[in-house]
Every structure is written in C-alpha cells, then in structure tokens.
Amino acid sequence: MKKYLAEMVGTFVLTLLGCGTAVSLGCGADTSAIVGTAIAFGLSVIAMAYTIGGISGCHINPAITLGVLINGGISVKDACGYICGQVIGAIIAAAVLYGIVSMDPAIVITTATGANACAYGVANGLIVEIVLTFIFVLVVLGATSKTNGATNNFAGLAIGLSLILIHLVGIHYTGTSVNPARSIGPALFAGGQALAELWVFIVGPFVGAVFAACCWKLIAPCEK
C-alpha cells in the first residue's frame, strides 16, 4: 500500500507543480513560458525520483508503469495499484490548482488546469504523443536498467532532463502529456475540448510505452 500512496503523492506533486507553472507563466504565450514549464516538469520528476524512488521506483506515470510491466519489472497487481494511485494523485492536484486560480477572472478554465489539447488536430497530437512517450519511456527503462550498474544513481537526473527536452518539443503541439494521469486530472476540470480529446493523451502514451518496451527488449544487453 505504501508504494501506491507514494505514486499518488509523486503524481500529485508532478501535476501540481508542472501544470501550476504552466498556468502561472501563461505557457504558450511566449518562449520563456514554454521553457519555464518544461523545466518545471523535469525538476518535479527529479525531485520525486530522489524522494520516493526507493519506495515505489517513482513511476508517477501510467505509461512508465505499463512499460515496466511489459518488461517484467512489476506485477499486474502492483501495476494496477500504481496506475490507480497516479490517477487519483493527478485529480487531487488538478482540483487544488483549479481552486487556487479559479478566483482569477483573467484565467479561463482550460488554462487554469493546464489541460492538454491538440493544437493541430487529433492525428497530429496522437503522433506527437506516441513518439515523445516512446523516447521518454525508453530513457526510463534504460536509465533504471540493472545493466547500468552504478550509473543508476543518476537515473532520476537523466529522466528529468529528458522530460525537459520532450516538453520543449511537444508543448507547441499538444501541451505535452506523455503521461495519461497528468492529462486525466486537468481534463476532468477543464471539460470541453480537453475532455473530448482526452483519449489522445491516454492512447498515445500507452502505445508509445508499448513500442518503447518492445524496443528495449531488443536492444537491452544481457544482465551480468
């Protein structure tokens, strides 16, 4: 149960701080806001990796949990518990964020929750989410692999920095999710387009995670 609670807390922090930064900086309005939001998501992952990594492995992302499950690193039971904790944590974070900023009439609901949306259509958004999640989950699987030995101490840093790069690429097109839980929470409060297109940010990351897990199986070195 502690592992599931850790995933809930970790996803809460990621969603609140990442989406909260996007809202506070008005992400999408200018380049500095995009860079700031990307850094916020990356730093949130790094912080949580060194906080709850020893408890649950710090997935804080259903796509990562799926990738780890396919590679045999977690049981089906734990995977279900992780995903439930992650989604609950994201919903709580979105509720808190909505409560913080909803009194400001200058902030529309979608912006106030940091919800994802496909700027150039669902087909474009689906491709972006699949490709970026593939890269992200592949980095996670490689960085946390037992074959990396002592370098695993820096896994959280590698994962967080890669998430910054992924956000820098994807924010313009989808707001960057690569994390179904992080999208579900805000979408429930934003409604409208964010809720209608939510399937893109669930299907895309999961498909990308499957591709990444299969790719890692092909290229992973044998354990010593």
* Distant-in-sequence, close-in-space partners of 101: CB < 8 Å, separation ≥ 6: 23, 107, 112
pLDDT digits (tens, 9 = 90+) for 159-180: 999 999 999 999 999 999 999 9
* SS3 call for 102: coil
Cα 161 → chain centroid: 13
* 56's tokens: 């649950």
How far apart are the C-alpha atoms of 177 and 79, rounded to whole Å? 20
- Residue 81: predicted pLDDT: 97
pTM for this predicted structure: 0.92
How far apart are the C-alpha atoms of 219 and 221, rounded to whole Å? 6
Terminal-to-terminal C-alpha distance of the chain: 32
Q: Judge contact between 15 and 8, C-beta under 8 A.
A: no
Q: Judge contact between 174 and 117, C-beta under 8 A.
A: yes
- What is the CATH number assigned to the segment(s) 2-219? 1.20.1080.10
pLDDT in tens, the chain (224 residues): 899 999 999 999 999 999 999 988 877 667 888 999 999 999 999 999 999 999 999 999 999 999 999 999 999 999 999 999 999 999 999 999 998 887 776 666 666 778 888 999 999 999 999 999 999 999 999 999 876 654 567 889 999 999 999 999 999 999 999 999 999 999 999 888 899 999 999 999 999 999 999 999 998 877 65
- Residue 114: predicted pLDDT: 82
* 222's tokens: 């044998």
How far apart are the C-alpha atoms of 66 and 206, rounded to whole Å? 7
